[in-house]
Structure 1
Amino acid sequence: MANLNWDDVKYFLALSRFGSVRAASEKLEVSHSTIARHVESLENYLGARLFDRSSIGYAITSVGEEVLGIAEQIEEDMLSLERRIVGQDQKLSGVIRVTMGDALSTHLLMPHFVEFCTIYPDITLEAVITYERLDIGRREADVALRFTKNPPDNLIGKRLVNIYHSIYASEEYLMKHDLENGSTARWISYVGDSGFPDWVKKTDYPHLPLQGIFKSMLLQLEATKAGMGICKLPCFLGDAEPALRRVPPGEASPAYDLWLLTHTDMRKTARIRIFSKFLTEAILSHRELIEGEKTQSF
């Protein structure tokens, strides 16, 4: 009897988690036929049907559910082995995969990334820019910068700073619009709430409705600069932008913590340890701007 193919298990897990061949293939960046072929291969190896196929997709069977629990344990054992081997690596070379939001990388950290790569030319930085929480345990990333108040228990790290927000608009927009009752001013948002969501009601302008909805901080920034409306932005974005002004009363308030996180098995890896220390110092060098204490002087 042939040995179990780990790739078959990996694709089975992906299809179980994402619910469709299309979603699983997009996540793993392979073709639909690759997913289907490996799942069929695992079914043939086990002599059991793991999914019921229908016109609406794949539904896991009772046998599939049983196999899923075992497969997840196999996956965790494989990943733990990989992390432990990588964690013993003391060379200042190799790849570091770091995940964060777009605004942190473009408006705060890019000069520091350049400096790091200059100091350590044998280390390659791979920046994964996303607002999704990548799974560090599965090595989708080695280091994560996350806006959170409750980091996962299976990760280690430190709280670096508190991210402060204020409300911003272009100077021209403030001249054209009276923000009092009956104003023509509008909010720019990051979520698809309509009308007057709760977070708007807690501001000094609860009567202003939403108009623009952008899930990227950089898009929110550009929309605000272009005069679409007023927007609640991190101070490190808004205060650094000459085209924007804080909307009266101009106060900054803490919104969430910024954590630097990695997996416990990776903490002894030399390049991860050096990069984490470098990144911590880089972010703390911008503390005044991040916490809204560095006033505009344009």
Structure 2
Amino acid sequence: MAEAAERIETETASLGREIAGRDHRLTGQLRVTSSDTLASRLVTGHFARFRQMHPGIVVELTVDNRVLSLSRREADIALRPARPREGDLFGRKLADIAWAVYGAPALLTSRSPFENPAKLADMPMIGWSADANGIPASEWLAALVTPTAWVYRSNSLVNQFMAAKAGIGLAVLPCYLADPDSELQRAIAAPISELMRELWIVTHSDLRRTARVRAFFDVVGDGLASERALFAGEYPRLGSHPGVVAAGI
């Protein structure tokens, strides 16, 4: 019975995608999923432009750091910090995502930026919850700092960002999140090469020709791609990169 139910669910989802894939109307609902950091910093401005261009499309954003299933229609489009591995997905790379170590200016004072990450070993550090597994930035930090250096932990990257701004300690953050903020500065000048990731916009292959999906790829996908330099950590100071709305992207 379980196998039959699973088969019915799969076939129903496939039929739903096939029907949606033939929809040429620029109206209706579009379900999008994104991480909390991307949602809090960048995508809303691009969603506003998408709304102006396509007022008949209602965007429903699910902010979730998990990888939602596009095959089961948990979302129509995903903005993911990794190359998709499922064979039935369609997407394109938008940018490289750089990470760096940040802290409040009062905490770093004249000691930064450091050239060698080893200098951070005894600095007060903000990290993930102790039970966090498979997070590259967490593993990088754990191999670098001493056990007594941890002063704060959180399973939310946005909360780590706020804790770093409050001066609790240093945090490893995506450059697009931290670089535009004048209340943070880099503890190490260069991004961490081992933590470089990719930003992808992804949909199911059956939906790639849907009018709503194509429009989203063109407006939001191209808009995010135009900010490659910010994602790559090439604008380290506030005001040195174009604003989302001001640049008209």
Give the TM-score category using the shorter length.
0.7 to 0.9
Query: Given that residues 121 and 146 in structure 2 are in contact (C-alpha distance below 8 angstroms), is that contact kept between their aligned partners in structure 1?
Result: no
**CA positional deviation for 1:175:** 3.2
Does residue 162 of structure 2 align to residue 228 of structure 1?
no
Q: Which residue is equivalent to 2:128?
A: 190
Question: Structure 1 CA distance, aligned partners of 2:2 and 2:32?
Answer: 29
Shift of 1:134: 1.3
The separation in 1 between residues aligned to 2:82 and 2:102, in whole angstroms, is 23
Partner of 1:239: 179
Match of 1:294 in 2: 235
Cα separation, 2, equivalents of 1:199 and 1:228: 20
Give the equivalent residue in structure 1 for 2:214: 273
Match of 2:49 in 1: 115
Identity of aligned residues (%): 32
TM-superposition CA deviations, 1:188-232 (whole Å, max 9, x none): 1134259xx7412555x5676323222222111101000111001
Contact 2:26 2:211 in 1 (8 A): yes
**Aligned-residue offset at 1:152:** 2.1
CA separation of 1:175 and 1:138: change in aligned 2, threshold 3 A: same
Letter in 2 for 1:111: G
Q: What letter corresponds to residue 117 of structure 1 in structure 2?
A: R
CA-CA distance at 1:154 after TM superposition: 2.3
Distance 1:260 1:181, change over 3 A: closer
Q: Which residue of 1 aligns with 2:150?
A: 210
Secondary structure at the counterpart of residue 15 of structure 2: helix
Q: Is the 8 A contact 2:126 2:151 kept in 1?
A: yes
Q: Is the 8 A contact 2:30 2:212 kept in 1?
A: yes
Aligned to 2:38: 104
Q: Provide the C-alpha distance between the structure 2 equivalents of 1:255 and 1:80, rounded to a whole number of angstroms.
A: 35
Residues of 1 paired with 2:203 and 2:160: CA distance? 29
What is the letter of the counterpart of residue 124 of structure 2? R
Is the partner of 1:137 in helix, strand or coil? coil
- Correspondence 1:261 to 2:230: no
**Cα separation, partners in 2 of 1:208 and 1:152, compared to 1, 3 Å:** farther
CA distance in 1, matches of 2:36, 2:102: 19
Q: TM-score if structure 1 supplies the norm length?
A: 0.70
Partner Cα distance (2:17, 2:141) in 1: 44
Q: Say if 2:121 and 2:149, in contact at 8 Å, map to a contact too.
A: no
* Bigger radius of gyration: 1
- Runs of 4+ that moved beyond 6 A: 176-179
Partner secondary structure for residue 138 of structure 1? coil
Cα distance in 2 for partners of 1:297, 1:73 equals 52
